[in-house]
Structure 1
Amino acid sequence: MSDMSLTAFVLILATFFAAGTVKGVTGMGLPTVAMGVLGALISPLAAASLLIVPSFVTNLWQLLAGPALGPVLHRLWPMMVAICAGTALGAALLAGSDTEAASTLLGAALVIYAGYGLLARPLSVPSRLEPMLSPLIGGLTGMVSGATGVFVIPAVPYLQALDLSRNDLVQALGLSFTVSTVALALALGAHGAFSAGTMGLSLLAVGPALIGMWVGQKLRNRISLATFRRMFLWFLLLLGAEMALRAVL
Protein backbone atom coordinates (compact mmCIF):
# COMPACT_ATOMS: atom_id res chain seq x y z
CA MET A 1 0.00 0.00 0.00
CA SER A 2 2.99 2.26 -0.49
CA ASP A 3 1.20 4.09 -3.32
CA MET A 4 -1.81 4.99 -1.16
CA SER A 5 -3.08 8.53 -1.62
CA LEU A 6 -3.41 10.95 1.27
CA THR A 7 -7.19 10.92 0.85
CA ALA A 8 -7.33 7.12 1.17
CA PHE A 9 -5.03 7.25 4.21
CA VAL A 10 -7.26 9.80 5.95
CA LEU A 11 -10.40 7.83 5.07
CA ILE A 12 -8.93 4.66 6.58
CA LEU A 13 -8.01 6.39 9.85
CA ALA A 14 -11.41 8.12 9.96
CA THR A 15 -13.10 4.75 9.46
CA PHE A 16 -11.31 3.27 12.45
CA PHE A 17 -12.22 6.31 14.55
CA ALA A 18 -15.89 5.83 13.61
CA ALA A 19 -15.66 2.07 14.20
CA GLY A 20 -14.07 2.66 17.61
CA THR A 21 -16.83 5.11 18.50
CA VAL A 22 -19.49 2.50 17.67
CA LYS A 23 -17.66 -0.04 19.82
CA GLY A 24 -17.40 2.45 22.66
CA VAL A 25 -21.15 3.02 22.61
CA THR A 26 -22.40 -0.52 21.97
CA GLY A 27 -19.54 -2.80 23.10
CA MET A 28 -19.12 -4.28 19.63
CA GLY A 29 -18.98 -3.35 15.97
CA LEU A 30 -15.39 -2.30 15.28
CA PRO A 31 -14.53 -5.08 12.80
CA THR A 32 -18.03 -4.97 11.34
CA VAL A 33 -17.93 -1.23 10.64
CA ALA A 34 -14.32 -1.33 9.47
CA MET A 35 -14.94 -4.21 7.07
CA GLY A 36 -18.21 -2.69 5.84
CA VAL A 37 -16.76 0.72 5.05
CA LEU A 38 -13.27 -0.30 3.95
CA GLY A 39 -14.64 -3.26 1.99
CA ALA A 40 -16.47 -0.75 -0.20
CA LEU A 41 -13.24 1.19 -0.82
CA ILE A 42 -10.54 -1.50 -1.05
CA SER A 43 -10.51 -5.28 -1.41
CA PRO A 44 -11.95 -7.30 1.51
CA LEU A 45 -8.55 -8.95 1.94
CA ALA A 46 -6.79 -5.59 2.34
CA ALA A 47 -9.52 -4.39 4.71
CA ALA A 48 -9.25 -7.54 6.84
CA SER A 49 -5.48 -7.16 7.03
CA LEU A 50 -5.83 -3.55 8.22
CA LEU A 51 -8.30 -4.36 11.01
CA ILE A 52 -6.16 -7.05 12.67
CA VAL A 53 -4.14 -4.89 15.09
CA PRO A 54 -6.82 -2.36 16.16
CA SER A 55 -9.36 -5.17 16.48
CA PHE A 56 -7.01 -7.24 18.63
CA VAL A 57 -6.09 -4.33 20.92
CA THR A 58 -9.67 -3.13 21.48
CA ASN A 59 -11.10 -6.63 21.92
CA LEU A 60 -8.33 -7.66 24.31
CA TRP A 61 -9.11 -4.54 26.35
CA GLN A 62 -12.78 -5.57 26.46
CA LEU A 63 -11.84 -9.16 27.37
CA LEU A 64 -9.51 -8.29 30.24
CA ALA A 65 -11.84 -5.64 31.65
CA GLY A 66 -14.41 -8.28 32.60
CA PRO A 67 -14.88 -9.66 36.11
CA ALA A 68 -13.88 -13.33 35.74
CA LEU A 69 -12.32 -14.72 32.58
CA GLY A 70 -11.78 -18.25 33.93
CA PRO A 71 -15.44 -19.36 34.18
CA VAL A 72 -16.31 -17.81 30.81
CA LEU A 73 -13.35 -19.50 29.12
CA HIS A 74 -14.16 -22.84 30.79
CA ARG A 75 -17.72 -22.63 29.50
CA LEU A 76 -16.96 -21.48 25.96
CA TRP A 77 -13.65 -23.16 25.08
CA PRO A 78 -15.27 -25.66 22.63
CA MET A 79 -16.73 -22.72 20.73
CA MET A 80 -13.36 -20.96 20.65
CA VAL A 81 -11.55 -24.04 19.30
CA ALA A 82 -14.20 -24.40 16.60
CA ILE A 83 -13.83 -20.71 15.66
CA CYS A 84 -10.13 -21.28 14.99
CA ALA A 85 -10.81 -24.35 12.84
CA GLY A 86 -13.59 -22.65 10.89
CA THR A 87 -11.50 -19.53 10.27
CA ALA A 88 -8.69 -21.59 8.79
CA LEU A 89 -11.17 -23.07 6.31
CA GLY A 90 -12.95 -19.82 5.44
CA ALA A 91 -9.83 -17.70 4.96
CA ALA A 92 -9.00 -19.47 1.71
CA LEU A 93 -11.81 -17.53 0.01
CA LEU A 94 -10.87 -14.16 1.49
CA ALA A 95 -7.21 -14.63 0.54
CA GLY A 96 -8.07 -15.96 -2.92
CA SER A 97 -8.21 -14.12 -6.20
CA ASP A 98 -12.01 -13.91 -6.43
CA THR A 99 -12.45 -10.54 -4.71
CA GLU A 100 -15.94 -10.12 -6.20
CA ALA A 101 -17.21 -13.23 -4.41
CA ALA A 102 -15.60 -12.12 -1.15
CA SER A 103 -17.24 -8.68 -1.45
CA THR A 104 -20.63 -10.24 -2.12
CA LEU A 105 -20.31 -12.54 0.89
CA LEU A 106 -19.21 -9.63 3.06
CA GLY A 107 -22.25 -7.63 1.98
CA ALA A 108 -24.54 -10.60 2.65
CA ALA A 109 -23.06 -11.07 6.13
CA LEU A 110 -23.71 -7.40 6.95
CA VAL A 111 -27.30 -7.65 5.72
CA ILE A 112 -27.97 -10.80 7.77
CA TYR A 113 -26.50 -9.30 10.92
CA ALA A 114 -28.34 -6.00 10.54
CA GLY A 115 -31.59 -7.70 9.60
CA TYR A 116 -31.41 -9.97 12.61
CA GLY A 117 -30.72 -7.05 14.91
CA LEU A 118 -33.64 -5.03 13.53
CA LEU A 119 -36.27 -7.75 13.19
CA ALA A 120 -35.54 -10.83 15.27
CA ARG A 121 -36.77 -11.40 18.77
CA PRO A 122 -34.24 -12.39 21.45
CA LEU A 123 -33.54 -16.12 21.52
CA SER A 124 -32.94 -18.42 24.46
CA VAL A 125 -30.75 -21.53 24.30
CA PRO A 126 -31.55 -24.31 26.81
CA SER A 127 -28.47 -25.33 28.78
CA ARG A 128 -28.81 -28.96 27.67
CA LEU A 129 -28.21 -27.93 24.05
CA GLU A 130 -25.16 -25.79 24.73
CA PRO A 131 -22.53 -28.60 24.53
CA MET A 132 -23.79 -29.48 21.04
CA LEU A 133 -24.45 -25.97 19.76
CA SER A 134 -21.28 -24.22 20.95
CA PRO A 135 -18.87 -26.06 18.60
CA LEU A 136 -21.35 -25.77 15.72
CA ILE A 137 -21.82 -22.03 16.22
CA GLY A 138 -18.07 -21.59 16.65
CA GLY A 139 -17.32 -23.42 13.41
CA LEU A 140 -19.88 -21.40 11.46
CA THR A 141 -18.62 -18.14 12.97
CA GLY A 142 -15.07 -19.06 12.03
CA MET A 143 -15.97 -19.84 8.44
CA VAL A 144 -17.91 -16.57 8.09
CA SER A 145 -15.14 -14.50 9.70
CA GLY A 146 -12.46 -16.27 7.66
CA ALA A 147 -14.34 -15.60 4.42
CA THR A 148 -15.52 -12.05 5.17
CA GLY A 149 -13.58 -10.59 8.12
CA VAL A 150 -16.86 -10.14 10.06
CA PHE A 151 -16.84 -11.87 13.45
CA VAL A 152 -20.45 -11.43 14.57
CA ILE A 153 -22.46 -14.06 12.66
CA PRO A 154 -23.74 -16.24 14.28
CA ALA A 155 -21.63 -15.80 17.44
CA VAL A 156 -23.29 -12.62 18.74
CA PRO A 157 -26.92 -13.83 18.57
CA TYR A 158 -25.86 -17.15 20.11
CA LEU A 159 -23.95 -15.60 23.02
CA GLN A 160 -26.85 -13.22 23.64
CA ALA A 161 -29.15 -16.25 23.83
CA LEU A 162 -27.15 -17.89 26.62
CA ASP A 163 -27.98 -17.33 30.26
CA LEU A 164 -25.11 -14.92 30.90
CA SER A 165 -25.02 -11.90 33.15
CA ARG A 166 -24.42 -8.54 31.48
CA ASN A 167 -20.77 -8.43 32.54
CA ASP A 168 -20.19 -12.06 31.53
CA LEU A 169 -21.81 -11.39 28.15
CA VAL A 170 -19.51 -8.43 27.47
CA GLN A 171 -16.52 -10.57 28.43
CA ALA A 172 -17.75 -13.51 26.35
CA LEU A 173 -18.09 -11.22 23.34
CA GLY A 174 -14.57 -9.91 23.97
CA LEU A 175 -13.28 -13.49 24.15
CA SER A 176 -15.02 -14.49 20.91
CA PHE A 177 -13.81 -11.40 19.05
CA THR A 178 -10.23 -11.75 20.35
CA VAL A 179 -9.99 -15.40 19.36
CA SER A 180 -11.54 -14.61 15.97
CA THR A 181 -9.02 -11.81 15.39
CA VAL A 182 -6.03 -13.99 16.27
CA ALA A 183 -7.35 -16.87 14.17
CA LEU A 184 -7.93 -14.57 11.20
CA ALA A 185 -4.44 -13.07 11.53
CA LEU A 186 -2.84 -16.52 11.57
CA ALA A 187 -4.96 -17.72 8.65
CA LEU A 188 -4.22 -14.67 6.51
CA GLY A 189 -0.56 -14.88 7.45
CA ALA A 190 -0.48 -18.49 6.28
CA HIS A 191 -1.78 -17.27 2.91
CA GLY A 192 0.88 -14.56 2.72
CA ALA A 193 -1.65 -11.75 3.04
CA PHE A 194 0.42 -9.43 5.23
CA SER A 195 3.05 -6.95 4.15
CA ALA A 196 5.18 -4.48 6.10
CA GLY A 197 3.12 -1.57 4.75
CA THR A 198 -0.18 -3.19 5.71
CA MET A 199 0.96 -4.00 9.24
CA GLY A 200 2.37 -0.51 9.68
CA LEU A 201 -0.93 1.07 8.69
CA SER A 202 -2.81 -1.39 10.91
CA LEU A 203 -0.65 -0.26 13.84
CA LEU A 204 -1.35 3.39 13.03
CA ALA A 205 -5.09 2.64 13.04
CA VAL A 206 -4.94 1.64 16.73
CA GLY A 207 -4.75 5.30 17.79
CA PRO A 208 -7.95 6.47 16.05
CA ALA A 209 -9.74 3.29 17.16
CA LEU A 210 -8.87 3.84 20.83
CA ILE A 211 -9.76 7.52 20.65
CA GLY A 212 -13.06 6.54 19.06
CA MET A 213 -13.72 4.03 21.86
CA TRP A 214 -13.10 6.73 24.45
CA VAL A 215 -15.45 9.11 22.64
CA GLY A 216 -18.08 6.39 22.35
CA GLN A 217 -17.88 5.60 26.05
CA LYS A 218 -18.41 9.29 26.83
CA LEU A 219 -21.39 9.41 24.46
CA ARG A 220 -22.97 6.26 25.93
CA ASN A 221 -24.66 8.13 28.77
CA ARG A 222 -25.71 11.10 26.63
CA ILE A 223 -27.59 9.44 23.79
CA SER A 224 -30.31 6.83 23.48
CA LEU A 225 -28.57 3.48 23.05
CA ALA A 226 -31.63 2.02 21.33
CA THR A 227 -31.81 4.87 18.81
CA PHE A 228 -28.07 4.75 18.13
CA ARG A 229 -28.22 0.97 17.65
CA ARG A 230 -31.10 1.21 15.16
CA MET A 231 -29.29 3.85 13.14
CA PHE A 232 -26.11 1.75 13.19
CA LEU A 233 -27.97 -1.37 12.01
CA TRP A 234 -29.78 0.49 9.20
CA PHE A 235 -26.43 1.86 8.04
CA LEU A 236 -24.96 -1.67 7.95
CA LEU A 237 -28.06 -3.01 6.19
CA LEU A 238 -27.86 -0.44 3.37
CA LEU A 239 -24.10 -0.74 3.05
CA GLY A 240 -24.25 -4.53 2.97
CA ALA A 241 -27.07 -4.54 0.42
CA GLU A 242 -25.07 -2.25 -1.88
CA MET A 243 -22.01 -4.51 -1.62
CA ALA A 244 -23.97 -7.73 -2.13
CA LEU A 245 -25.84 -6.37 -5.17
CA ARG A 246 -22.87 -4.62 -6.76
CA ALA A 247 -21.79 -7.73 -8.64
CA VAL A 248 -25.20 -8.38 -10.23
CA LEU A 249 -26.22 -4.82 -11.14
Structure 2
Amino acid sequence: MFDFTTLAIAFLCLAAGGVLKGATGAGAPVIAVPALAMMFDVRFAVVVMMMPNLLTNILQAWRFRGSQLAGSFVWLFAIAGAVGAVIGTMMLAVFPADYLSLLVAFGVFAYIASRLMRPDWMIGLDLARRLSIPVGVVAGVLQGASGVSAPVSLTFLNAMRLDRPIFISTVSIFFVAMTLTQVPALAVTGIMTWQGMAISFAAMLPILAFMPVGSALAQRFSKETFDRVILAFLAALALKIIYDFTTR
Protein backbone atom coordinates (compact mmCIF):
# COMPACT_ATOMS: atom_id res chain seq x y z
CA MET A 1 0.00 0.00 0.00
CA PHE A 2 2.81 2.40 0.87
CA ASP A 3 5.50 1.78 -1.75
CA PHE A 4 7.86 4.63 -2.71
CA THR A 5 5.90 5.69 -5.80
CA THR A 6 2.63 5.86 -3.88
CA LEU A 7 4.25 7.87 -1.09
CA ALA A 8 5.81 10.26 -3.62
CA ILE A 9 2.46 10.85 -5.33
CA ALA A 10 0.72 11.33 -1.97
CA PHE A 11 3.41 13.86 -0.99
CA LEU A 12 2.82 15.80 -4.22
CA CYS A 13 -0.95 15.79 -3.64
CA LEU A 14 -0.53 17.15 -0.13
CA ALA A 15 2.00 19.70 -1.37
CA ALA A 16 -0.50 20.87 -4.01
CA GLY A 17 -3.07 21.23 -1.24
CA GLY A 18 -0.57 23.32 0.70
CA VAL A 19 -0.04 25.57 -2.33
CA LEU A 20 -3.79 26.16 -2.62
CA LYS A 21 -4.08 26.76 1.12
CA GLY A 22 -1.27 29.30 1.03
CA ALA A 23 -2.70 31.08 -2.00
CA THR A 24 -6.32 31.33 -0.94
CA GLY A 25 -6.45 30.61 2.80
CA ALA A 26 -8.63 27.53 2.21
CA GLY A 27 -9.10 24.54 -0.02
CA ALA A 28 -6.28 22.09 0.80
CA PRO A 29 -8.80 19.20 1.00
CA VAL A 30 -10.24 20.19 -2.39
CA ILE A 31 -7.03 18.94 -4.05
CA ALA A 32 -5.69 16.45 -1.52
CA VAL A 33 -8.86 14.44 -0.78
CA PRO A 34 -9.82 13.59 -4.41
CA ALA A 35 -6.21 12.70 -5.20
CA LEU A 36 -5.79 10.49 -2.13
CA ALA A 37 -9.23 8.94 -2.66
CA MET A 38 -8.18 8.06 -6.20
CA MET A 39 -5.14 6.15 -4.91
CA PHE A 40 -6.58 4.69 -1.69
CA ASP A 41 -10.18 5.33 -0.61
CA VAL A 42 -12.26 8.17 0.81
CA ARG A 43 -12.03 7.01 4.42
CA PHE A 44 -8.22 7.03 4.30
CA ALA A 45 -8.22 10.43 2.58
CA VAL A 46 -10.52 11.93 5.22
CA VAL A 47 -8.37 10.58 8.06
CA VAL A 48 -5.14 11.88 6.49
CA MET A 49 -6.54 15.42 6.25
CA MET A 50 -7.81 15.61 9.84
CA MET A 51 -4.72 17.02 11.57
CA PRO A 52 -3.70 19.29 8.67
CA ASN A 53 -7.24 20.69 8.65
CA LEU A 54 -7.29 21.23 12.39
CA LEU A 55 -3.82 22.65 12.97
CA THR A 56 -3.47 24.87 9.89
CA ASN A 57 -6.88 26.38 10.50
CA ILE A 58 -6.13 26.98 14.18
CA LEU A 59 -2.98 28.84 13.08
CA GLN A 60 -4.91 30.89 10.53
CA ALA A 61 -7.76 31.63 12.94
CA TRP A 62 -5.22 32.94 15.46
CA ARG A 63 -3.29 34.92 12.87
CA PHE A 64 -6.45 36.62 11.58
CA ARG A 65 -8.22 36.86 14.96
CA GLY A 66 -8.44 40.65 14.56
CA SER A 67 -10.42 40.29 11.31
CA GLN A 68 -13.48 38.42 12.54
CA LEU A 69 -16.82 39.31 11.01
CA ALA A 70 -19.01 41.17 13.50
CA GLY A 71 -22.23 39.58 14.71
CA SER A 72 -23.42 35.99 15.12
CA PHE A 73 -22.90 34.72 11.56
CA VAL A 74 -19.48 33.09 12.07
CA TRP A 75 -20.48 31.14 15.17
CA LEU A 76 -23.86 30.02 13.81
CA PHE A 77 -22.15 28.82 10.63
CA ALA A 78 -19.37 27.05 12.56
CA ILE A 79 -21.68 25.28 15.03
CA ALA A 80 -23.98 24.15 12.22
CA GLY A 81 -20.95 22.82 10.34
CA ALA A 82 -19.82 20.89 13.41
CA VAL A 83 -23.24 19.22 13.72
CA GLY A 84 -23.26 18.38 10.02
CA ALA A 85 -19.76 16.90 10.24
CA VAL A 86 -20.91 14.36 12.83
CA ILE A 87 -23.83 13.34 10.61
CA GLY A 88 -21.52 13.05 7.61
CA THR A 89 -19.03 10.94 9.57
CA MET A 90 -21.79 8.45 10.37
CA MET A 91 -22.45 8.25 6.62
CA LEU A 92 -18.73 7.72 6.01
CA ALA A 93 -18.78 4.72 8.32
CA VAL A 94 -21.78 3.09 6.62
CA PHE A 95 -21.72 3.88 2.89
CA PRO A 96 -19.57 1.80 0.47
CA ALA A 97 -16.19 3.40 -0.29
CA ASP A 98 -16.75 3.35 -4.08
CA TYR A 99 -19.91 5.43 -3.80
CA LEU A 100 -18.23 7.84 -1.41
CA SER A 101 -15.52 8.32 -4.06
CA LEU A 102 -18.25 9.21 -6.53
CA LEU A 103 -19.61 11.71 -4.00
CA VAL A 104 -16.17 13.33 -3.91
CA ALA A 105 -16.03 13.48 -7.71
CA PHE A 106 -19.49 14.99 -8.09
CA GLY A 107 -18.75 17.39 -5.24
CA VAL A 108 -15.68 18.59 -7.12
CA PHE A 109 -17.73 19.05 -10.31
CA ALA A 110 -20.33 21.02 -8.33
CA TYR A 111 -17.55 23.26 -7.01
CA ILE A 112 -16.16 23.81 -10.53
CA ALA A 113 -19.61 24.55 -11.92
CA SER A 114 -20.36 27.07 -9.20
CA ARG A 115 -17.09 28.88 -9.89
CA LEU A 116 -17.66 29.01 -13.66
CA MET A 117 -21.39 29.67 -13.89
CA ARG A 118 -21.92 32.28 -11.18
CA PRO A 119 -18.62 34.10 -10.62
CA ASP A 120 -20.47 37.35 -9.87
CA TRP A 121 -23.08 35.85 -7.52
CA MET A 122 -23.34 37.87 -4.31
CA ILE A 123 -25.10 37.30 -0.98
CA GLY A 124 -25.66 40.12 1.50
CA LEU A 125 -24.79 39.67 5.17
CA ASP A 126 -28.43 39.66 6.34
CA LEU A 127 -29.38 36.85 3.95
CA ALA A 128 -26.14 35.00 4.72
CA ARG A 129 -26.97 35.07 8.42
CA ARG A 130 -30.41 33.55 7.76
CA LEU A 131 -28.83 30.85 5.59
CA SER A 132 -25.89 30.17 7.92
CA ILE A 133 -27.44 27.21 9.78
CA PRO A 134 -28.86 25.18 6.83
CA VAL A 135 -25.83 25.90 4.64
CA GLY A 136 -23.47 25.10 7.52
CA VAL A 137 -25.16 21.75 8.20
CA VAL A 138 -25.08 20.72 4.52
CA ALA A 139 -21.42 21.74 4.21
CA GLY A 140 -20.61 19.81 7.38
CA VAL A 141 -22.35 16.68 6.09
CA LEU A 142 -20.29 16.90 2.89
CA GLN A 143 -17.11 17.39 4.93
CA GLY A 144 -17.86 14.41 7.15
CA ALA A 145 -18.96 12.06 4.37
CA SER A 146 -16.47 12.99 1.66
CA GLY A 147 -13.82 15.28 3.18
CA VAL A 148 -14.73 18.05 0.72
CA SER A 149 -17.17 20.75 1.83
CA ALA A 150 -15.96 23.33 -0.72
CA PRO A 151 -18.90 22.95 -3.15
CA VAL A 152 -21.07 24.45 -0.41
CA SER A 153 -18.85 26.20 2.14
CA LEU A 154 -16.38 28.02 -0.10
CA THR A 155 -19.00 28.85 -2.74
CA PHE A 156 -21.22 30.34 -0.01
CA LEU A 157 -18.42 32.39 1.57
CA ASN A 158 -17.07 33.51 -1.81
CA ALA A 159 -20.55 34.78 -2.69
CA MET A 160 -20.46 37.01 0.40
CA ARG A 161 -17.55 38.93 -1.16
CA LEU A 162 -15.66 39.09 2.12
CA ASP A 163 -12.29 40.82 2.28
CA ARG A 164 -9.44 38.27 2.25
CA PRO A 165 -8.53 38.58 5.99
CA ILE A 166 -12.20 38.25 7.01
CA PHE A 167 -12.72 35.35 4.61
CA ILE A 168 -9.69 33.48 6.00
CA SER A 169 -10.76 34.13 9.60
CA THR A 170 -14.32 32.92 8.90
CA VAL A 171 -13.40 29.79 6.95
CA SER A 172 -10.71 28.86 9.51
CA ILE A 173 -13.13 29.01 12.44
CA PHE A 174 -15.63 26.98 10.41
CA PHE A 175 -13.10 24.22 9.65
CA VAL A 176 -11.77 24.14 13.22
CA ALA A 177 -15.31 23.62 14.55
CA MET A 178 -16.04 20.83 12.07
CA THR A 179 -12.76 19.04 12.71
CA LEU A 180 -13.13 19.21 16.51
CA THR A 181 -16.32 17.16 16.24
CA GLN A 182 -15.21 14.99 13.33
CA VAL A 183 -12.07 13.60 14.99
CA PRO A 184 -13.89 12.00 17.98
CA ALA A 185 -16.68 10.84 15.65
CA LEU A 186 -14.09 9.10 13.45
CA ALA A 187 -12.57 7.50 16.54
CA VAL A 188 -15.94 6.24 17.80
CA THR A 189 -16.76 4.67 14.42
CA GLY A 190 -13.32 3.00 14.29
CA ILE A 191 -12.23 4.85 11.16
CA MET A 192 -9.56 6.88 12.96
CA THR A 193 -6.85 4.61 14.40
CA TRP A 194 -3.53 5.46 16.08
CA GLN A 195 -1.76 4.62 12.82
CA GLY A 196 -4.12 6.90 10.94
CA MET A 197 -3.51 9.68 13.47
CA ALA A 198 0.27 9.33 13.00
CA ILE A 199 -0.10 9.48 9.19
CA SER A 200 -2.34 12.52 9.55
CA PHE A 201 0.27 14.35 11.64
CA ALA A 202 2.93 13.43 9.07
CA ALA A 203 0.72 14.90 6.32
CA MET A 204 1.18 18.29 8.00
CA LEU A 205 4.77 18.50 6.75
CA PRO A 206 4.24 18.88 2.97
CA ILE A 207 1.22 21.13 3.48
CA LEU A 208 3.06 23.51 5.81
CA ALA A 209 6.18 23.41 3.65
CA PHE A 210 4.29 24.44 0.51
CA MET A 211 1.88 27.01 1.95
CA PRO A 212 4.52 29.76 1.50
CA VAL A 213 4.85 28.69 -2.15
CA GLY A 214 1.12 29.30 -2.60
CA SER A 215 1.41 32.72 -0.98
CA ALA A 216 4.23 33.63 -3.36
CA LEU A 217 2.37 32.35 -6.43
CA ALA A 218 -0.74 34.30 -5.44
CA GLN A 219 1.30 37.51 -5.55
CA ARG A 220 2.99 36.66 -8.84
CA PHE A 221 0.05 35.41 -10.93
CA SER A 222 -3.43 36.81 -11.34
CA LYS A 223 -6.23 35.21 -9.36
CA GLU A 224 -7.96 34.25 -12.63
CA THR A 225 -4.91 32.36 -13.93
CA PHE A 226 -4.42 30.54 -10.64
CA ASP A 227 -8.12 29.61 -10.52
CA ARG A 228 -8.08 28.18 -14.06
CA VAL A 229 -5.11 25.94 -13.30
CA ILE A 230 -6.68 24.66 -10.08
CA LEU A 231 -10.06 24.03 -11.70
CA ALA A 232 -8.46 22.12 -14.61
CA PHE A 233 -6.48 19.98 -12.17
CA LEU A 234 -9.59 19.25 -10.11
CA ALA A 235 -11.60 18.31 -13.21
CA ALA A 236 -8.91 15.82 -14.22
CA LEU A 237 -8.93 14.23 -10.75
CA ALA A 238 -12.72 13.94 -10.68
CA LEU A 239 -12.82 12.40 -14.15
CA LYS A 240 -10.18 9.85 -13.11
CA ILE A 241 -12.24 8.84 -10.05
CA ILE A 242 -15.34 8.34 -12.21
CA TYR A 243 -13.32 6.40 -14.80
CA ASP A 244 -11.93 4.09 -12.12
CA PHE A 245 -15.44 3.52 -10.75
CA THR A 246 -16.90 2.61 -14.16
CA THR A 247 -14.06 0.22 -15.06
CA ARG A 248 -14.13 -1.82 -11.85
CA spacing shift, 1:171–1:9, aligned 2, 3 Å = same
Moved more, 189-198 or 121-130: 121-130
User: Which residue does 1:111 correspond to in 2?
Assistant: 109
- Asked whether the equivalents of residues 67 and 167 of structure 1 are also in contact (C-alpha less than 8 Å), the reply is no
Partners of 2:15 and 2:71 lie apart in 1 by: 30
Q: Choose the corresponding residue for 1:6, options 1, 4, 7.
A: 4
Q: Choose the corresponding residue for 1:132, options 130, 133, 137.
A: 130
CA displacement 1:12-49 (0-9 Å, x = unmatched) = 22221121012112222211111011010001000110
Q: Choose the corresponding residue for 1:209, options 204, 207, 210.
A: 207
CA displacement 1:153-179 (0-9 Å, x = unmatched) = 311121222263332112112222222
Q: Choose the corresponding residue for 2:41, options 40, 43, 56.
A: 43
User: Which residue does 1:179 correspond to in 2?
Assistant: 177
CA displacement 1:159-200 (0-9 Å, x = unmatched) = 222263332112112222222232322321221111222111
Partners of 1:73 and 1:148 lie apart in 2 by: 30
RMSD between superposed Cα atoms in Å: 2.0
Matches for 1:4-153 after TM superposition, within 5 Å: 4-68=2-66, 71-72=69-70, 74-96=72-94, 98-153=96-151
Q: What letter is aligned with 2:101? A: S
- Asked whether the equivalents of residues 33 and 147 of structure 2 are also in contact (C-alpha less than 8 Å), the reply is yes
CA spacing shift, 1:14–1:241, aligned 2, 3 Å = closer
- Asked whether the equivalents of residues 122 and 160 of structure 2 are also in contact (C-alpha less than 8 Å), the reply is yes
Task: Give the superposition deviation at 1:69.
Answer: 5.7
After TM superposition, the score normalised by the length of structure 1 is 0.90
Q: What letter is aligned with 1:202? A: S
Q: What letter is aligned with 1:192? A: G
1:154 and 2:161 are equivalent in the alignment: no
Unaligned runs of 5+ in 1: none
CA spacing shift, 1:132–1:97, aligned 2, 3 Å = closer
CA spacing shift, 1:73–1:54, aligned 2, 3 Å = farther
CA spacing shift, 1:243–1:209, aligned 2, 3 Å = same
Task: Give the superposition deviation at 1:147.
Answer: 1.1
CA spacing shift, 1:6–1:192, aligned 2, 3 Å = same
- Asked whether the equivalents of residues 111 and 241 of structure 1 are also in contact (C-alpha less than 8 Å), the reply is no
Q: What letter is aligned with 1:233? A: L
Corresponding residue SS for 2:198: helix
Q: What letter is aligned with 2:76? A: P
Q: What letter is aligned with 1:105? A: L
After TM superposition, the score normalised by the length of structure 2 is 0.90
CA displacement 1:126-155 (0-9 Å, x = unmatched) = 344334211010011011111100121311
CA spacing shift, 1:130–1:219, aligned 2, 3 Å = closer
CA displacement 1:206-246 (0-9 Å, x = unmatched) = 11111110222222222233211111012112322332454
Task: Give the superposition deviation at 1:76.
Answer: 1.7
- Asked whether the equivalents of residues 26 and 225 of structure 1 are also in contact (C-alpha less than 8 Å), the reply is no
